[in-house]
Amino acid sequence: MTEPAERRPAPPGDNSATTPEGVRCSDAERAETEAALHVAVGEGRLTMAEVEDRITRVYAARYRHELAAITADLPPAPEAVTGWRPIVSAASRQVSTDLSALLGRDGTVSARRRLTIALVTLALVLAAVALLVLALHGIGGEGFEHHELGRE
């Protein structure tokens, strides 16, 4: 059974007694904080002078709580979304935007656009029918032997 934290002796070299949150920050954490500052200046939350001052403080910081204090007045960064969902979502938005522009929902309907849509649709339907016929008939290297086309 372990002792409570206040009764355990501190390991050698541990300076958590002298700092409130004695966990040292890494270079990656400094880079994350700097990136958050760049986002904040891009959003107009900070001026360039403020960002330069804070970045100087970021690279002078030794502990995590010092980094947290530098960005304490900024909103938290949104959680990064991973996986296929953002990709599918972006693709569907793009297809939707392209279709609405192509179909003239943006107020610019023309006869040329309608003709283009009709030709593309016809080509897609013909390609689908051709693939269906080939799939049902069979795609083989035998030639015309099974059709009785060369026989007399």
Chain segment 86-126, per-residue pLDDT in tens: 888 888 888 888 777 766 665 566 777 778 878 888 999 99
Q: Let me know: does 63 contact 69? Beta carbons within 8 Å.
A: no
pLDDT over 90, % of the chain:
32
For residue 106, how far is the Cα from the chain centroid?
28
Query: Which residues have C-beta within 8 Å of that of residue 131, sequence separation ≥ 6?
Result: none
What is the Cα–Cα distance from 89 to 19, expressed in whole angstroms?
46
pLDDT band for position 135 (cuts 50, 70, 90): confident
Closest C-alpha among 22, 55, 25 to residue 37: 55
90 by DSSP, 3-state: which?
helix
Q: Let me know: does 58 contact 70? Beta carbons within 8 Å.
A: yes
* CA angle centred on 42, ends 65 and 60, rounded to 5°: 30
| pLDDT exceeds 90 at position 72 | yes
Count CA atoms closer than 13 A to 45's CA, side-chain side. 12
What is the Cα–Cα distance from 119 to 125, expressed in whole angstroms?
10
Q: Let me know: does 70 contact 54? Beta carbons within 8 Å.
A: yes
Chain segment 28-41, per-residue pLDDT in tens: 999 999 999 998 89
Q: Is the pTM of this model over 0.75?
A: no
